[in-house]
Amino acid sequence: MTTFPSLKTDAVMQYPATREFRYDNAVLRFLDGSQQCYRESKDALLRWQIRLDLLDEGELATLQAFFDSNQGRYGSFTFVDPWDSTEYSDCSLEQDTFEFELAGEMRARTTIVVKQNRS
Residues 37 and 19: their CA atoms lie apart, in Å, by 25
Cβ contacts of 72 within 8 Å, gap of 6 or more: 93, 95, 96, 97, 98
Model pLDDT, residue 3 = 85
The two most distant CA atoms of the chain are separated, in Å, by 62
Model pLDDT, residue 91 = 93
How many domains does the chain contain in total?
Answer: 1
- Environment class of 96 (CB within 10 Å of its CB; exposed 0-12, middle 13-18, buried 19+): exposed
Average pLDDT over residues 53-61: 87
Neighbours of 2 (CB within 10 A): 11
Amino acid in position 28 = L
Model pLDDT, residue 101 = 80
Residue range(s) defining the domain that contains residue 107? 2-116
Residues 57 and 4: their CA atoms lie apart, in Å, by 18
Better-scored residue on pLDDT, 4 or 30? 30
Average pLDDT over residues 28-51: 88
Residues 103 and 19: their CA atoms lie apart, in Å, by 27
The DSSP 8-state label assigned to residue 71 in this structure reads: T
